[in-house]
Structure 1
Amino acid sequence: MGGMDRQTLRDWVHRFNAQGPEGLKDIRSKGHAPRLTPDQIAAFATIVETGPDRMVDGVVRWRRIDLKRVIEQRFGVVYHERTIGKLLAQIGFARLSVRPQHPAQDGRVVESFKKTSRPH
């Protein structure tokens, strides 16, 4: 009938018989259930906001691959690196990075240098 698969027509008839015309409306898929609970997402956001501990995490700034490892270790959930970027965007983090600082850098010396050096 009109290029329609026989099974599709059969499904429509069953839906119409069970629910009337409302049963013929498109059913939206809900998608995958989230793998992290809301509490875990909040904890993850805190981890990102706080930043890495150089001694514990071995990095000076978070990358997606590092956060992937952190999620696997702390929550037991495996994500693809690309999905980490989507998760970060979903919880409101932009893809910005601060310039890393050496741990022994003295802020007062830097400010003094900025005040006394000539502009270009």
Structure 2
Amino acid sequence: MMAVPVPLRPDFQAAGLRSAAQRTRDAAQARRLLALATIYEGASRADAAKIGGVTRSVARDWVIRFNAHGPDGLVDLKSPGAPSRLGACERRALLSKLENKPVPSTGSDKGLRLVDLAQWVFEEFQIIVSIQTLSRELRDAGYGKRPPRRRHTGAGRRSRQPAAKSTLGAPDSEPKGHRFKSSRGHH
């Protein structure tokens, strides 16, 4: 017994899908739209799957996604990734640690480094968390990266002062150690 194919939504036509396929910058979405356009034109689901380079069951999934969300349903969404290793309790403790701003084991008073925080999380909760993950967790909690180290206030002034005239060579004297030679053969 053959399964009845899922019908395509009636508010679209083949020409509209082909037009949408031309406008999109997503190659996978364009391929899916073109495959579904052939179904609107009367092609079999097997032919549409062949055009899309997939099996009939995948083409059926496209029809279901298209029926539910239109052309936007044929865009691949970013995978959410693995769930966070830190739970709500650990996250609160981490933020509390940052608010208290303890002096790290390095003896520096510049604040905690991500590597110090990762070590603290391991010692407190026996959870191994990468520096990148910890950085993302803190960014999501509203903590940004620290600004770059401030320069000494006098450093900029010294470099902007004009050179004293006595340091410049006299206009008629040859500079010592001049290594450039003329490309015309004159010395």
Do 2:103 and 2:112's aligned partners in 1 also have CA atoms closer than 8 Å? no
* CA deviations over 1:17-38 (Å, ceiling 9, x no partner): 8x99339945854432121111
Greater helix proportion: 1
What 5-or-longer segments of structure 2 have no aligned partner?
1-49, 150-187
Separation (CA, whole Å) in 1 of partners of 2:58 and 2:52: 15
SS of residue in 2 equivalent to 1:95: coil
Amino acid at match of 2:126: G
Give the match for residue 21 of structure 1: 67
Structure 2 vs 1, CA of residues 58 and 20 (structure 1 numbering), >3 Å: closer, same or farther? closer
Give the match for residue 52 of structure 1: 102
Amino acid at match of 2:51: G
Pairing of 1:73-88 with structure 2 (within 5 A)? 73-88=123-138
Identity of aligned pairs, percent?
17
TM-score calculated relative to the size of structure 2:
0.40
Structure label with greater radius of gyration: 2
Alpha-carbon distance, 1:44 to partner: 0.3
Amino acid at match of 1:69: Q
Structure with greater contact order relative to length (CA < 8 Å, sep ≥ 6): 1
Match of 2:90 among 23, 40, 46: 40
What 5-or-longer segments of structure 1 have no aligned partner?
100-120
Count of aligned residue pairs for this structure pair: 93
Give the match for residue 118 of structure 2: 68
Do 1:64 and 1:85's aligned partners in 2 also have CA atoms closer than 8 Å? yes
Give the match for residue 142 of structure 2: 92
